[in-house]
Chain A
Amino acid sequence: MKLTSIDMLAQRREALVQRAAALAHEVRVCAGTACVAAGAGKLSDAIQREAAAKGLVLAVDGDAPDAEATVRLVNTGCQGLCQAGPLVRVLPQDAFYCGVRPKQAARLVSEALQNNAVIADWCAVSPQGQRYATRAEVPFYRHQQAIALEGCGAVAPESLDDYIAHGGFAALVRALEMPPEDIVQTVEDAGLRGRGGGGFSTGRKWRIAASASASERYVICNGDEGDPGAFMDCAIMEGDPFRIIEGMAIAARAIGAQQGFIYVRHEYPKAVARLDKTIVACRKAGLLGAGILGAGFDFDVEIARGGGAFVCGESTALMRSIEGQVGEPRANYIRSVQEGLYGQPTVLNNVETFACVPAIIERGAAWFAATGTPGSSGTKAFCLVGKVAHTGLIEVPMGTTLRQVIFDIGGGVLDGRPFKAVQTGGPSGGCLGEAQLDLPVDFDALTAAGSMMGSGGMIVMDDRTCMVDVAHYYLSFLQSESCGRCVPCREGVAQLCHLLDTMRRGTAKPGDLDRAIRLAQDIAQASLCSLGKSAPNPFLSAVTHFRAEFEAHINDRTCSAGVCRDLTVFAIDAQACTGCGLCAPACPADAIAGAPKQVHAIDAQKCTGCGACRTVCRDDAVRALPRNLPCN
């Protein structure tokens, strides 16, 4: 049904909310990437089968409920605690269950849905044995605050009706009733800064685009989330796609644009499919296209699929890619906000930035600015990954310390190992050590410490992570992603990567570390775009905080983390080994021998130094030794 006026939208919402109020329960099954891989799809099917068998009528996702329906089953976007999927949340009790198997569906239906009970023995348990009856009590969620991810994990992603029922497009209505100048002012007053990592004031960007004289203007949503170890934008695109369209429409209204583009990364086919359906649904409902809600506002959105090039996350390269050209950045003395796509003023914001916009317009600048720090207001989404106990997608108020994020939300380092470093900002960011753990999540504080906020990857590293290897990893990533246009980035990054590789292999020469630092500084100064300028950050920050480790690789040819294969051999500590037998089948080289309950031994001739045995050993009996020392 086409919504031809603001009143029609309000009536539609009213009807939807009333219908929803008649339902006794809502079951939210997480259908995020990790939960689906863990079997969420089968679980959802099993719940529907069991409900049918027990005579319980379900409304699934955005379906209009039948008169007899008492429960809504929603296959949501990512609910956050990816580690423990498939996740199930039951409302109104707010009960939260992890790792639910399809065969448990019968109990879920009979106890939780038919008897309104919280299934106590499925609830998460604290290390002290306390059960968390509601999701809000679970430490992983307790310290979080959702703005950008508000709808992700709550709404049915492909249902316009469900989005409207959750208050969707109310912010657009408000924006349509405001003079465009006031929209810009509100976003500026809110202090919203670019969530893609740059941290530029969104309001100021919109103001520049709005005031540039031009016949056409464009709004682009950057969904080319290329940072390895980051999937926040993917989660929003898959989990709450209507919110992005609403944010873009508000931006378009503010700057006077009629056309928008969402540039989506090639590796996210599901996000592309979702956004495609979202755009079609919005056009059908009159929320995109000519004369939106009868308010004399025209705006449409097209999807541009990326081609698998990291550099296309850079604004000028991204615009060239949309134009169908090779995605090479241009020198940034011309601001793309004034002369961007097809030479016209263009506002380019990240997915998460657009996802914050509807909340700001609806609840006001002061509400948003009340959260966070003076320089960085609001919240930030992160992917808390790596060697952390609770891996997942989180959103915290700015100003939360790294320690709170990693230990209170993340539950500390995986398997209780010692914390070594945390990496933020992806290939443009840096590693911070133990001494920096009390830094707040804040654009300026992280930059001052030699890292950066970045788009939101937060990778936790333990004592078995080698900083030389990590620096080499990022540099080799950037080497293959450099577009090759400017020499400092193309050749410099390759040389820096080569120097780091020699350190990993034990062939580096004294003086190579200083040589590498000088080269890194030159690359940072002389490169054309931000990819090259920031390329040395992972290396420079690692040297700042872990210099001794680099020196040990060069001078002593040792890797204390036991990661660099050319420098490491593994041996089993006969005192610690309990003969549990886990390591032998984990070895891909058949290098481990030992009878059950007897001490095992590694054949140094066959050992390839992969460390698989050390990963599986529960008794910490596998030791990494320097290769130049005799083994045992």
Chain B
Amino acid sequence: MDAVPRALELNDIVAKYPSGEPRALLHLLQDIQTAQGYLSREAIGAAAQHLGVTETRAFQIATFYKAFHLRPRGRQTLRICTGTSCHIRGAMVLADEVHKTLGAGPGETTADGAFSIELVNCVGACALAPVLLVDGEMLGNVHPGTVARRLKRAGEAP
């Protein structure tokens, strides 16, 4: 998305909230991220100005809550579940394998912009542990030896 529509979109989202209402800060930032995938410097500034809080406070919220990203994201998000059940069934071995296969580790985005990789705390599919989520689609019982193949298939899917 180029800069102009993005800025327009940002204005639309911000305008949905009453101005000067600091309470809405968390929700507004969540809405911006849902629409734009991350919180840009401009987005944080616009949210802060609209709700009448300092930019520092908006930045504090944006960095405290893990749901927020301050950098643009890959086209797909690859989440590796590290809940207890996945952990004892080898989630960290899987995370190492993903790192090796895609060349990017947790918190990073692959060089080609295809995947952003995240570790998450339990997605509630413990029966299928260890679990990967590719853009919300769940891959269960993923083993280190097969992860490369399954990621390739998931990456090719529309």
Contact = CB atoms under 8 A, between A and B. Distances in A.
A505 interface: no
Interface string A316-352: 0000010111110000000000000000000000000
A587 B67 contact: no
A490 interface: no
Contact of A612 (B22, B25, B128, B143): B143
Contacts of A278: none
Interface string A290-318: 00000000000000111111100000000
Given A34-B127, A228-B122, A307 B145 contact: no
A323 B23 contact: yes
B49 interface: no
Interface residues of A, number: 60
A613 B68 CA distance: 38
A267 B125 contact: no
B70 interface: no
Query: Which of B121, B124, B138 has most chain A Cβ within 10 Å?
Result: B124
Contacts of B27: 304-305, 324
A385 B84 contact: yes
Interface stretch (A118-126, A198-206, A457-465): A457-465
Contacts of B68: 307
Contacts of A172: none
B85 interface: yes
Interface stretch (A4-12, A215-223, A229-237, A544-552): A229-237
Interface string B104-145: 000000000000000011111111110000001010100111
B93 A459 contact: no
Given A305-B30, A324-B27, A34 B125 contact: yes
Given A33-B138, A385-B129, A470-B88, A308 B143 contact: no
B140 A227 contact: no
A326 B60 contact: yes
Query: Which of B64, B68, B93, B127 has most chain A Cβ within 10 Å?
Result: B127
Nearest to A78: B124
Contact of A457 (B24, B84, B145): B84
A516 interface: no
B102 interface: no
A4 B79 CA distance: 46
Interface stretch (A182-190, A242-250, A386-394, A441-449): A386-394
B123 A387 contact: no
A47 interface: no
B144 A586 contact: yes
B61 interface: yes
Query: Which of A34, A235, A268, A585 has most chain B Cβ within 10 Å?
Result: A34
A88 interface: no
B138 A324 contact: no
Contacts of B64: 307, 309, 326-327, 483
Interface string A429-464: 000000000000000000000000000010101000
Interface string A25-64: 0000000011011100000000000000000000000000
Contacts of B23: 323-324
A307 B25 CA distance: 12
B125 A586 contact: no
Interface string A558-591: 0000000000000000000000000001111000
A601 interface: no
Contacts of A327: 64-65
Nearest to A590: B145
Contacts of A457: 84
A291 to B, nearest CB: 26
A394 to B, nearest CB: 12
A228 B143 contact: no
Query: Which of B24, B129, B145 has most chain A Cβ within 10 Å?
Result: B145
Contact of B121 (A34, A267, A307, A385): A267
Interface string A468-481: 00100110010000
A615 interface: yes
Contacts of A470: 84, 87-88
28 contacts: A33-B123, A33-B125, A34-B127, A34-B140, A37-B125, A229-B83, A229-B85, A229-B126, A231-B124, A234-B124, A267-B122, A304-B27, A305-B30, A306-B67, A308-B66, A309-B65, A324-B22, A326-B64, A385-B126, A391-B85, A423-B84, A459-B84, A465-B88, A477-B121, A608-B96, A610-B144, A612-B93, A612-B144
Interface of B: 22-27, 30, 60-61, 64-68, 82-85, 87-90, 93, 96-97, 100, 120-129, 136, 138, 140, 143-148
Name the 10 nearest CB pairs between A and B, nearest first. Answer: A307-B65, A231-B124, A82-B127, A229-B84, A385-B126, A308-B66, A228-B83, A308-B67, A391-B127, A586-B145
Given A85-B127, A309-B65, 17 more contacts: A34-B127, A37-B128, A229-B84, A231-B122, A234-B124, A266-B67, A267-B121, A267-B123, A269-B136, A304-B27, A306-B65, A307-B66, A309-B66, A326-B60, A385-B129, A585-B146, A588-B144
